[in-house]
Chain A
Amino acid sequence: MNSRLLNRLAISLIVACAVVMVGTLAALLGYILYQGVSQISWSFLTSDSSAFQAGGGIKNQLWNSFYILFITMLLTVPLGTAGGIYLAEYAKQTRFTAFIRSCVEVLASLPSIVVGMFGLLVFVNYFNWEYSILSGAVALTVFNLPVIVRVTENALCSVSEEQRAAGLALGMTQWHTIKKVFLPAAFPGILTGVILCAGRVFGESAALLFTAGLSSPNLDFTNWNPLSANSPLNLFRSAETLSVHIWSVNSVGIIPDAKEVAAGAAAVLVISVLTFNLVARLLGRIVEKKMTGK
């Protein structure tokens, strides 16, 4: 075949693939939002879910999703950034570091359902936390730690090596240099990474099935005593999140309006994740601009 013709054909094919990809995203978002947004109403967002009747809402699931997200980030961010600092700044090319790197790699590639099983065995059964917010959040921490570690490490590595010499030559200790120079400089990168990671945690489901559970007590939003059984703040109650709810109404649920509830919940989920994405980019850009003065 004529090489010019082949060239044109191949390139058209490549362009077509790119179009398929963009088209997939457009179709996906379009479908979810088109199907779902009409389901979203004030009462859908603010009423309890129902076990077998039509007309249930997603109030508790929505709250649970945010609460688990909050607890998870509370645990993951300090641990993850510290791990990232260690790998980027203190440890270079020793056997111990190589081992930690391997561990990060293994944790990052574990299927989330395996993490869920581990959570079931250790947190739910062995520690006897039962199906609870805490079990779920700790399982998600295990799952997300490597992501934050990598985010931090990459952000720190992009800060120039010369800054380190500068800090030390000015008679500061290494920790002080990291704290006052490296971390602030890497902050936009870490922030963006953390928020994107939050989006992932928000949508995570498989690891939560066996740890946070498939049900949620009807929460009493006037009761903020964290020790009371149906308080929204209670760490030791079971908590079905939004994404688990979408799965459960479709797979194991019996409510007649499963399709509508799932569509509405999916739309809320996707809108939240998109918001995380948008906020991450905007914040990252704003902070970056402020710091470099450009």
Chain B
Amino acid sequence: MIAQLKEKPVRSAQHQSEKQSIVLGINGVNVYYGNNHAVKNVSMPIHDRSITALIGPSGCGKSTFLRTINRMNDLIPGAACDGEIMYDGINLLNRKIDVVTLRKEIGMVFQRPNPFPKSIYENIVLSLKFAGIRGKKVLNGIVEESLKQAALWDEVKDRLDQSALSLSGGQQQRLCIARALALKPKVLLLDEPSSALDPVSSAKIEDLLLTLKEQYTIVIVTHNMQQASRIADSTAFFYEGEVVEYNDTTMMFTCPANKRTEDYISGRFG
């Protein structure tokens, strides 16, 4: 499985090339929190317009790794990392990266829905306005489009000016996804997006991700192995900061190559 990593990260031409082109080429990434070596020498490719699931027991470093991709770990004092994440021909871990622009292209949705305490409309246009997108018509268009993409439009189209906090948990999470989509990111990172939701909302999010896969590259951290097996194209199993196994999801769940993966998948620990 690691063999794929040997190939040089290819510059991807977004939204045109065949499925197998690599968007993020991850090579020997290490993350440290002080003395704690949280992510150890992780390498894997993230393919264009596919869903990659990161699974593993709590504290195995999968969320930390996800947050490294769009440099959200910059916010944590004492965090440091090395290695390379090649994206569009450059290393995202480089010092000269403009994290603000980076995060527009690599969006993120968090475990707990965190809409801003503002109206539904404002939630979406806030970052657009900051990105310099002006004009009521343009903004309205993007709001409608992204809410439709997030399968939320029909539920909220009559109350866009209401507070986002009046939505249900599942709706809030879809709003957060819509908010991220509004910036037209290349990659969408999701950190256990449905673990705080009820099964019905969770299923809706899964359906949504399968639709979004047609246009976006998705990396999802999940605790739920059924979820991974249902939606992911490839899966990486994290254990104690290392990637124990990375493979095509079907392969991984039918005949895991590693004993620990097998134990985890069959529910013997974790």
Which positions in A face B, CB cutoff 8 Å? 92, 159-160, 162-173, 176, 180-181, 184-185, 291-294
Task: From known contacts A165-B110, A165-B114, A176-B130, infer whether A171 and B103 are also in contact, taking CB-CB under 8 Å.
Answer: yes
A-B contact pairs, 20 of them (CB 8 A): A162-B112, A163-B114, A165-B72, A165-B114, A166-B176, A168-B72, A168-B103, A169-B103, A169-B110, A170-B104, A170-B179, A170-B183, A172-B126, A176-B130, A180-B126, A181-B118, A181-B126, A184-B118, A185-B117, A293-B162
- Complex interface: chain B residues within 8 A of A184 (CB): 117-118
Q: Is B250 an interface residue (CB 8 A)?
A: no
* Residues of chain B contacted by A162 (CB below 8 angstroms): 110, 112, 114
Determine whether the beta carbon of B77 is less than 8 Å from that of A292: no
- Write the nearest CB–CB distance from A96 to chain B, whole angstroms: 14
- Residue numbers in A under 8 Å from B179 (CB-CB): 166, 170
Contact with A along B102-134 (1 / 0, CB 8 A): 111001111010111110000000110011000
Pick from A92, A165, A170: contact of B180, CB under 8 Å: A170
Nearest-Cβ distance from residue B259 to partner chain A, whole angstroms: 36
Residue of B72, B110, B117, B183 with most chain A CB atoms under a 10 A cut-off: B117
Chain B residues whose C-beta falls within 8 Å of the C-beta of A293 in the assembled complex: 162-163, 165-166
B165 and A294: CB pair below 8 A? Answer: yes
Cα(A165)–Cα(B75), bound, Å: 9
Contact B130 A171, beta carbon cutoff 8 Å: yes
Nearest CB of chain B from residue A216's CB, rounded to whole Å: 45
Residues of chain B at interface, number, CB under 8 A: 31
Q: From known contacts A169-B70, A171-B103, A172-B126, infer whether A92 and B116 are also in contact, taking CB-CB under 8 Å.
A: no
Q: Which residues of B contact A165 (CB under 8 A)?
A: 72, 75, 108, 110, 114
When C-beta atoms are compared, the residue in chain B nearest to A92 turns out to be B77
What are the residues of chain B within 8 A of A167 when measuring CB–CB? 116, 127
Contacts of B254 in A (CB 8 A): none
Compute how far the CA of A173 lies from the CA of B101 in the bound complex, rounded to whole angstroms: 10
Question: Chain B nearest CB: distance from A172 CB in Å?
Answer: 5
Q: Inside 8 A of A294's CB, which chain B residues have their CB?
A: 163, 165-166
Cα distance A174–B117 in the bound complex, in angstroms: 17
Q: Is the CB of B117 within 8 A of A291?
A: yes
Given contacts A184-B117, A185-B117, A292-B165, contact A169 B108 (CB under 8 A): yes
Distance, CA A182 to CA B152, complexed state (A): 25
Asked if A181 and B114 make an inter-chain contact with CB atoms under 8 angstroms apart, the answer reads: no
| B131:A171 contact, CB within 8 angstroms | yes
Contact A170 B127 (CB under 8 A): yes
Are B130 and A172 in contact, CB atoms less than 8 angstroms apart? yes
**Is B138 an interface residue when CB atoms closer than 8 A count as contact?**
no
In the assembled complex, the CB of B158 is this many whole angstroms from the nearest CB of chain A, namely 14
Which residue on chain B has the smallest CB distance to residue A186? B117
Which residues from chain B contact A172 at a C-beta distance below 8 Å?
100, 126-127, 130
**Minimum C-beta distance from A87 to chain B (A):** 16
Partner of A171, one of B77, B110, B127, B163: B127
What 0/1 pattern do residues 172 to 187 of B give for CB contact below 8 A with A?
A: 0000100110010000
Q: What residue of chain B has the Cβ atom nearest to residue A164's Cβ?
A: B75
A171 touches B183 (CB 8 A): yes
Q: Write out the residue numbers on chain B whose beta carbons fall within 8 Å of the beta carbon of A163.
A: 114, 116-117
**Which chain B residue shows the least CB distance to A160?**
B114
| Residue picked from A170, A173, A181, A292, most chain B C-beta under 10 Å | A170
Partner of B72 from A92, A169, A181, A292 at Cβ < 8 Å: A169
Q: Write the chain A residue with the least CB distance to B163.
A: A293
Asked if A170 and B103 sit within 8 Å, CB to CB, the answer is yes
What's the least CB distance linking B93 to chain A, in Å? 17
CB distance from A294 to the nearest CB of B (A): 7
| Shortest distance between the CB of A166 and any CB in chain B (Å) | 4
Are A166 and B114 touching (Cβ within 8 A)?
Answer: yes
Q: Bound complex: CA of A181 vs CA of B164, how far in Å? A: 13
Question: In chain B, what residue has the closest Cβ to A185?
Answer: B117
A184 to B117, CA, bound (A): 8
Q: Which of B135-193 contact A (CB under 8 A)?
A: 162-163, 165-166, 176, 179-180, 183
A sample of 11 more A-B contacts (CB under 8 A), given A163-B116, A165-B75, A172-B127, is A166-B176, A168-B103, A169-B72, A169-B103, A170-B179, A170-B183, A171-B100, A171-B101, A181-B116, A184-B118, A293-B163
